[in-house]
Structure 1
Amino acid sequence: MKARSTAFGVALATLAIPAAAAGTDGPDKVIQLPSGAELRWLETVHDNSGGSGLTYRFRFLMTDLAKRVPSTTGPASEPGLDGEDSGDRGPIEIDTESGTVEGDDGMIDADQLDMTPVEGDEAAEVEADNMLEEPALPAAPDVLAQDPLHDDVVWLCQNWVLPRVASPAPRPQVIMISIADKDIPFGAYDPEVLQLFEAFRLPADRDECEWEPW
C-alpha cells in the first residue's frame, strides 16, 4: 500500500534497533530484490501498539521508490487529469417545466431527442439486472490491493526479515515492512516523503509471511 509519510501513534514504549548496531546489516549494505530493485535497511522497531499484538516494524530506504510506483497526487476530480486542458465550463441549467437544457451550446429541446428504443436494449437491460443480482467479482480481489513492489516485499519478508526475527525472544504476531524514498525518523511526518507499507501475519506454528491486505 503506497502512502505519503504518516506518523504512527505508538501506545507503548518501542525498542528500536538502528542499522548501525547490526554489524553486517548496516546502512551501506545493499539488498538486491528479485525485480532488480535495491534498498537498504534502516532500523527495526518493536511495539505492541494498534491492538494486533507484538509487531516488528522493519524500515527500509529505496531512493528511487517514486519511479517504481504510480503517483496518486491530486484529487480525482481535478480538471485536466488526462493531460488535456478542459477549460472553463459554463453552468448547465435544466428547466423541468419546458423540458429544455441550457448549456454551453445553447438551448436543446427535449422533445427533439430521439428516444426510440434501439434493438438489443431490452436484452442489455435484462443482462444488467442479472449482474445486479449476481455481481461479477475479480478472480482474486486481493490483487487489487497489491502495490507494484508486492512480490519484492513478499520475498524480502520471507528471505531477509524472517531470518532476523530474534529467537528465542517473544515471537511477533505481525511484521510490518515500510519502504521510504528518504531517511526520516520513525513516526516523523514529512509530506515530501513517499512511503510504502505492507503488513504480514506470522503464524505461531510456522515461519511464513502471510500477507495481510489493508
Structure 2
Amino acid sequence: MRLAAGTALVLLALPLAAAAQEEVLRLPSGLEARVHEVLTDRPAGGGLTYRFRFVAEGFEGGEAGLERVMEDLEWLCVTYALPRLSNIGPRPGRVVISLADRPSEFGVYNPAVIQVFEAYRPEGDTCIWEMF
C-alpha cells in the first residue's frame, strides 16, 4: 500500500480489542457484524479520521440493498463508533464506517471482497453523512 506524502496510517490498540472482535452486533438489516479493525489516519488536508471496519458474513452488495446498507452504516456509526471515540484519543473530524463480507487488508484491492463504506462527521450524539 502506498500512502501520499504527509499521510499516516496507524492501527489503534483499543482496550479489549480481542473481545470487541468477538462481539456480535445485530444490524438493523438483520445481518450480524463483528469489528475487523479500527484505524486512524490524517489524509492530506482532511484532518483526523477514524476508520471502523466491520465484517458481516452473508453481506451482499448491489443497488437493491443500498438503503438497507446505509441504515446499517449509520447505525454502526451512532451506536458503536461514537461511544468509543473518547476512549481512542482526540476527537476526529471524520469517521469512516465500512462493512465487508470478509476480512481484507486495508488499502489493498481484492475483487473477491464485497465492501461498502461511508464517511460521517461526528456531531454530538449523531453522525452526519458526508459524501466523498
Task: Provide TM-score, normalisation by structure 2.
Answer: 0.82
Conserved? CA contact 2:29–2:68, under 8 Å: no
Conserved? CA contact 2:11–2:40, under 8 Å: yes
Does residue 29 in structure 1 map to residue 23 in structure 2?
yes
Using a 3 Å threshold, how does the CA distance of structure 1 residues 8 and 192 change in structure 2: closer, same or farther?
farther
Residues 141-180 of structure 1 deviation map (CA, whole Å, 9 limit, x = unaligned): xxxxx64311121111111111111348311000001111
Conserved? CA contact 2:82–2:122, under 8 Å: no
Does residue 156 in structure 1 map to residue 80 in structure 2?
no
Pick the aligned partner of 1:70 from 48, 62, 79: 62
Residues 7-36 of structure 1 deviation map (CA, whole Å, 9 limit, x = unaligned): 78454222213689514312x221111221
Conserved? CA contact 1:10–1:47, under 8 Å: no
Using a 3 Å threshold, how does the CA distance of structure 1 residues 175 and 148 change in structure 2: closer, same or farther?
same
Conserved? CA contact 1:19–1:41, under 8 Å: no
Q: Distance in 2 between matches of 1:8 and 1:162?
A: 29
RMSD in angstroms over aligned alpha carbons? 2.7
Does residue 213 in structure 1 map to residue 114 in structure 2?
no
Using a 3 Å threshold, how does the CA distance of structure 1 residues 31 and 19 change in structure 2: closer, same or farther?
farther
SS of equivalent residue, structure 1 residue 44 = strand
Q: Distance in 1 between matches of 2:80 and 2:24?
A: 12
SS of equivalent residue, structure 1 residue 202 = strand
Structure 1 stretches lacking a partner, 5+ long: 1-6, 72-145
Superposition pairs for residues 50-199 of structure 1, below 5 Å? 50-66=44-60, 69-70=61-62, 147-167=67-87, 169-199=89-119
Structure number with higher relative contact order (C-alpha < 8 Å, ≥ 6 residues apart): 1
Q: Distance in 2 between matches of 1:191 and 1:15?
A: 24
Larger radius of gyration: 1
Using a 3 Å threshold, how does the CA distance of structure 1 residues 179 and 168 change in structure 2: closer, same or farther?
closer
SS of equivalent residue, structure 1 residue 63 = coil
Structure 2 stretches lacking a partner, 5+ long: none
Q: Distance in 2 between matches of 1:21 and 1:189?
A: 29
Task: Provide TM-score, normalisation by structure 1.
Answer: 0.53
Deviation for aligned residue 1:183: 0.9
Aligned residues: 130
Q: Which residue of 1 aligns with 2:32?
A: 38
After TM superposition, where is structure 1 displaced by more than 6 Å over at least 4 residues in a row? none
